[in-house]
Amino acid sequence: QSVLTQPPSASGTPGQRVTISCSGGSSNIGSNAVNWYQQLPGTAPKLLIYTSDQRPSGVPDRFSGSRSGTSASLAINGLQSEDEADYYCAAWDGSLNGWVFGGGTKLTVL
Amino acid sequence: QAQLQQSGPGLVKPSQTLSLTCAISGDSVSSNSAAWNWIRQSPSRGLEWLGRTYYRSKWYNDYAVSVKSRITINPDTSKNQFSLQLNSVTPEDTAVYYCARTRGHLDLWGRGTLVTVSS
């Protein structure tokens, strides 16, 4: 069972806005930044959002992140077919002294 | 553009040692602002951080509690790489293993190595 909690699935139609939640605790999201990753089948996770709300260069501004208390969320505006992937949240856990992950959310573009 | 290149066997027998190497290009294993991690992914356990090595005037290691008694992560400064050794493996250790860099966040990942534990 993953330390961070995500919904197992999400879906939307092209052009819609979709949000994915990530819930944790005081030792991880409550005190450290959240990162989001996109994973396409057969590939490694790719950094999508870091420090809760920052995008690496090359990531479209359709992707945004936020954090409040012990929860975080990833929003995708203007959903596109190529956004169909698995999405993971991650944060440093000060009590476990290691990185912890969510169980992943499979996003389907209908 | 930094890259991580993984190498190692894809099949390990139960009770033996899993060994993987991650070669670094475009960065240094001895960097004072980076850490070098091993992470694995399986359908049953999801993404699981295993441990890291990093240099801050001396070498440090941190390991996940779940594997602490069986894991060693070593840097190799002469080859600019780091390695993973996981002892006494069982079929539950079957997973895709990734090496990854931390520069504040896990920002660079290797392509992954599927390691199957089977006789």
pLDDT, tens digit only, all 110 positions of chain A: 899 999 999 999 999 999 999 999 999 999 999 999 999 999 999 999 999 899 999 999 999 999 999 999 999 999 999 999 999 999 999 999 999 999 999 999 99
The whole-angstrom distance between B70's CA and the closest CA on chain A is: 17
Buried b (16+ CB within 10 A) or exposed e, A13-37: eeeeebebebbbbebbbeebbbbbb
Distance CA B113, CA B55 (A): 25
**What does the DSSP assignment read for A8-43?**
SEEEE-TT--EEEEEE--TTTTTTS-EEEEEE-TTS
Judge: A43–B111 Cβ closer than 8 Å, yes or no: yes
| Residues in a beta bridge with A49 | A36
B32 pLDDT exceeds 90? yes
Distance CA B107, CA B119 (A): 35
Q: Which residues of chain A make contact with B39, given a CB cutoff of 8 A?
A: 99
Q: Which residues of chain A make contact with B112, given a CB cutoff of 8 A?
A: 43-44
Token pair of B103, please?
Answer: 């520069």
B42 pLDDT exceeds 90? yes
Distance CA A29, CA A68 (A): 9
Q: Which residues of chain A make contact with B64, given a CB cutoff of 8 A?
A: 96, 98
Please state, as a whole number, how many other Cβ atoms lie within 10 Å of the Cβ of residue B35: 21
Judge: A99–B98 Cβ closer than 8 Å, yes or no: no
B85 pLDDT exceeds 90? yes
N-terminal to C-terminal alpha carbon distance within chain B: 39
- Closest CA relative to residue A35, chosen from B107, B50, B60, B58: B107
Judge: A99–B49 Cβ closer than 8 Å, yes or no: yes
Query: Region B67-77: what's the mean pLDDT?
Result: 98
Residue A1, pLDDT score? 84
The whole-angstrom distance between B65's CA and the closest CA on chain A is: 8
Nearest residue of A to residue B63 by CA position?
A: A98
Residue B11, pLDDT score? 98
Q: Which of B48, B64, B112 sits opposite A44 (nearest CB)?
A: B112
The SS3 assignment for A95 reads coil
| Residues in a beta bridge with A87 | A38, A105
